[in-house]
Amino acid sequence: MPRGAEQHSDEELVKGCLKNSRYEQEMLYRKYFAGMMRMCMRYTQDRDAAMEIVNMGFLRVFKKLHTFSFSGSLEGWIRRLVFHSLSDYFQKNPRPVHFLDLEERDAPARENALNKLYLEDILKLADLLPDATREVFYLYAIEGYSHVEIAEKINISVGTSKWHLSNARQRLKQLIRIHYNHAG
């Protein structure tokens, strides 16, 4: 974390940003930049593209900061907005999403349906997962946490984290089959 950013609470940073303080805006950006960049680099190995996505995400953050209610973590809220920018980027620059190896090589209909899916579509399907499974899925696949980190973060075992991720994969395959095979 950059020097200075850790000296301010999220609440102080948000209040300062809402008052249009350039200093707090920079501190907020610096505090969360590295984590958002890591998340974007998971989906594109192009550093310039990742930087564009992160910056577009932070533009959303600053435009919508007045809607943040402190009911959850600021980092999670920022991550969601940056992730929406990531999804927008891939909609404008389409390429097949090979998301957690959901596709099966010997099933052409399913593969065709998957090629038409955007990250946002998969996230909508992920919202249908059971709460604990969805939480592990988001932490692992979206936020980039390891199973060890997830276990510590939500107080479960590493094995349970792995089970939830496996369960998420299986359920997402079923949901994709149900929701998208008819469209292909």
Compute the distance between CA of residue 113 and CA of residue 10 in angstroms, rounded to an integer. 41
> pTM of the entire structure?
0.57
Quote the pLDDT of residue 22.
Answer: 94
The winner for highest mean pLDDT among 97-106, 108-117, 161-170 is 161-170
Mean pLDDT of the chain: 80
Above pLDDT 90, what percent of the chain?
A: 33
Res 94: pLDDT: 66
Work out the angle at residue 117's Cα, subtended by the Cα atoms of residues 115 and 118, and round it to the nearest 5 degrees. Answer: 120
| Structure confidence at residue 175 (pLDDT) | 84
pLDDT of residue 182: 54
Per-residue model confidence (pLDDT) at position 139: 80
Tokens at 122, concatenated: 């998969």
Residue 131: is its pLDDT beyond 60? yes
In terms of C-beta density within 10 A (0-12 exposed, 13-18 middle, 19 or more buried), how is residue 20 classed?
exposed
pLDDT the model gives residue 138: 81
Closest of 124, 126, 142, 127 to residue 38, by C-alpha: 142
Report pLDDT for 156: 94
pLDDT of residue 125: 81
> How many Cβ atoms sit within 10 Å of the Cβ of residue 179?
15
d(CA 177, CA 117): 12
Confidence bin at 86 (pLDDT 50/70/90): confident
Question: Taking residues 129-157, what's their average pLDDT?
Answer: 85
Domains for the chain: give ranges and CATH numbers: 5-92 (1.10.1740.10), 108-180 (1.10.10.10)
Task: Give the CA angle between residues 45, 10, 148 to the nearest 5°.
Answer: 50
Split at pLDDT 50, 70, 90, the class of 104 is very low
Which of the four pLDDT bands, split at 50, 70 and 90, describes residue 29?
Answer: very high
